Amino acid sequence: MENEKIHSGYVLKVGPGYPVPTLMDESEPWKGKSEEVKYVPLQPHEGDLAIYLQKSGYEIEFNREKYVIVPYSAILMLIRDEGLFE
């Protein structure tokens, strides 16, 4: 990891998080099954500055703009400035 380059960029969008399995309570069958998927949210918020490992990011071009998709596990640090985008 010492030889990996680190980059930084602002977070534009964040995925829904990690899906959590639906638990079925056998003792209360009248409740019915809920098919709604629940997620554990991720820490990054839109507008955060993310410091991440370069080789883990995937560069894409969309509408003539370059973006980097970074997996959560590659983020080393987040810097949050609440008033930055107001």
Range of the domain at 77: 1-15+37-86
Q: How many domains does the chain have?
A: 1
Query: Looking at residue 20, what is its pLDDT?
Result: 87
In sequence order, what are the residues at sequence separation of 6 or more whose Cβ sits closer than 8 angstroms to the Cβ of residue 20? 37, 38, 39, 40
Does residue 32 lie within any of the structural domains? no
- CB neighbour list of residue 78: distance below 8 Å, 6 or more residues apart: 11, 43, 44, 48, 49, 50, 51
**pLDDT reported for residue 32:** 63
Mean pLDDT of 7-16: 94
In a domain, 30, yes or no: no
> 18-55 pLDDT, tens per residue?
998 776 666 666 666 666 788 999 999 999 999 999 99
Residue 31 lies in a domain: no
pTM for the structure as a whole: 0.71
Compute the Cα dihedral for 38, 44, 46, 52 and give only its sign. Answer: negative
Give a yes or no: residue 21 inside a domain.
Answer: no
Q: Is 56 helix (H, G, I), strand (E, B) or coil?
A: helix
Asked whether the beta carbons of 52 and 76 are under 8 A apart, the reply is yes
In a domain, 83, yes or no: yes
